[in-house]
Structure 1
Amino acid sequence: MGIIGSTIKPFKATAFQSGKDFFDVTEEDVKGKWAVFFFYPADFTFVCPTELEDLGKQYDALQGMGVEVYAVSTDTQFSHKAWHDTSEKIGKLKYPFLGDQLHTLSNNFGVLREEMGLADRATFVVDPDGVIQVMEITCEGVGRNAEELVRKIKAAQYVRNNPGQVCPAAWEEGGETLSPSLDLVGKL
């Protein structure tokens, strides 16, 4: 599936966010800013709270980079609230959780496990034009690393803001970049 470089499809999902009433989020709310869609299989599970807590530790840094985070599972917004209210790890989180019980987002991003009605463990980074720039999908037993996600977003933002430049492997902010040209062919 060629999802990198594609534009996110229309959606409407109800969100739970600590300290707020339930509210709707659509693709229009995402346009004009960077966004992370952080899919996970289900509330009240095992690896998921560790990942979501790890992501929560990076939330302020991501906000400072102009990035909004949306945690997404096929649970309802009511389940998200109940999990928030009963889990020490989830109770600390500030970013919105989207309910995807109709599987619209999971289908739009191609991560629905239809036989189970659950989303894969998947991350998508969307640029301000609504274009998917980064994706990562892992098996259910392998948790993701939020620090690496932040690094990838910094690289994607750098490439967007510096046309003609690309970031090599393990690039860190402030590191050397490359200017692709015929002069580099066979020299790297």
Structure 2
Amino acid sequence: MSLVNTQVKPFKATAFKEGKFIEVTDQTLKGKWAVVVFYPADFTFVCPTELEDLADNYAEFQKLGVEVYSVSTDTHFSHKAWHDTSPAIGKIKYAMIGDPTWEVTQNFEVLREGQGLADRGTFIIDPQGVIQAVEVTAEGIGRDAKELLRKVKAAIYVANHPGEVCPAKWKEGEKTLAPSLDLVGKI
């Protein structure tokens, strides 16, 4: 069953953010748009490239009023150690949630059974805490922050413009569609 259009399930976890340990809950995600990005493990290979890409584009997410959270089943202590030793991870200013109890990972249904690791999952969550988009890829397939930004902009646009939808490859400022009987078979 898809998690799209469902409420984020309750959770409480500790994150590392800008030199501090902070508490993050399902309630923390409410009130603004959020992106939650799960990855398999700290000190690995594809993961730091993705998290660095998010760090490099974090200001763009912030301009949209979107908060970014990364999550792995490592501890918040491991996140701090990785942040302090890796030039790529050292760029991160968003919260890095530790989930050693697997509560968050299980709630978002991306826990790899028998491995204790998260799948490479991406979730776009609206200000009411409702999941608007889900993408899960195999471990070897890295994600692209620019494409995620495009999807977030589309989700925000659709939420702010009832009756309109964003077609494939839609970019901010481009034409949208207004589904109607007149459009059937004409696209």
TM interval, shorter chain, is over 0.9
Q: 2:50 touches 2:142 (CA, 8 Å); kept in 1?
A: yes
Equivalent positions of 1:117-128 (< 5 A) are 117-128=116-127
| Other structure's SS at 2:80 match | helix
Runs of 4+ aligned structure 1 residues displaced above 3 Å come to none
2:61–2:149 contact (8 Å) kept in structure 1: yes
What amino acid is the match of 1:10?
P
Consecutive unaligned residues in structure 1, runs of 5 or more: none
Report the 3-state secondary structure (helix = DSSP H, G, I; strand = E; otherwise coil) of the residue aligned with 2:109: coil
Identity %: 64
**2:153 matched residue in structure 1:** 154
1:30, CA displacement in angstroms?
1.1
Is this contact kept in 1: 2:21–2:76, CA < 8 A? Answer: yes
- CA separation in 1, counterparts of 2:88 and 2:33? 25
Residue by residue over 1:96-139, the C-alpha shift from the partner in whole angstroms, topping out at 9 and shown as x without a partner, is 10000111111011000021100000100000010001111110
Match of 1:95 in 2: 94
- For residues 1-188 of structure 1, the aligned pairs below 5 Å read 1-19=1-19, 21-188=20-187
Aligned mates of 1:32, 1:178 — CA distance in 2: 28
Secondary structure in structure 1 of the residue aligned to 2:10: coil
Equivalent AA in structure 2 for residue 139 of structure 1: A
Per the TM alignment, residue 57 of structure 1 is displaced from its structure 2 partner at its CA by 1.0
SS in 2 for 1:30: coil
TM-score (norm 1): 0.98
SS at match of 1:83: helix
Give the 3-state SS of the residue equivalent to 1:22 in structure 2.
Answer: strand
Indicate conservation of the 8 Å contact 2:15/2:23, yes or no.
yes
- Unpaired runs of 5+ residues, structure 2, are none
SS at match of 1:169: coil
